[in-house]
Amino acid sequence: MDRLHSDPSFLVCPDFMTKWYRVSHTSMVNANVTEAQAVETLCNIWITTNEDLCLQWHQQVVEDKHLNAERYHLAEEEAEQQKAVLELEEATMRADKRKKNRFKHLPIPV
């Protein structure tokens, strides 16, 4: 499915009686279908399509929330791991420094 870029619930059904949509509804007019029925059919199609898009938008928002929450938790875990690595490196450096300077700080026998 293509990703939607805006919420379709804010869209308004166009007026299919205007000149801009004349080609759309006149192509549907015949002996059994009046112009008003053709316009009503186009409106029904638009409404059904818009409802489907609204459902898709809602699903997309829910999926985005889940993905953002997952990214946040992964970033937190990574930060904790980096902190643990840094603490381990600092502890190792302190231990190495103590080993090097061990003989410098021995008490002098009197």
- Domain residue limits, the chain: 8-100
What Cα–Cα distance (Å) separates residue 9 from each residue in 33, 44, 52, 58, 73? Answer: 30, 15, 10, 10, 31
- Determine the pLDDT at residue 48: 98
Cα–Cα distance for residue pair 95/110, rounded to 1 Å: 29
- Mean pLDDT of all residues in 4-14: 95
- Determine the pLDDT at residue 87: 94
- Determine the pLDDT at residue 90: 93
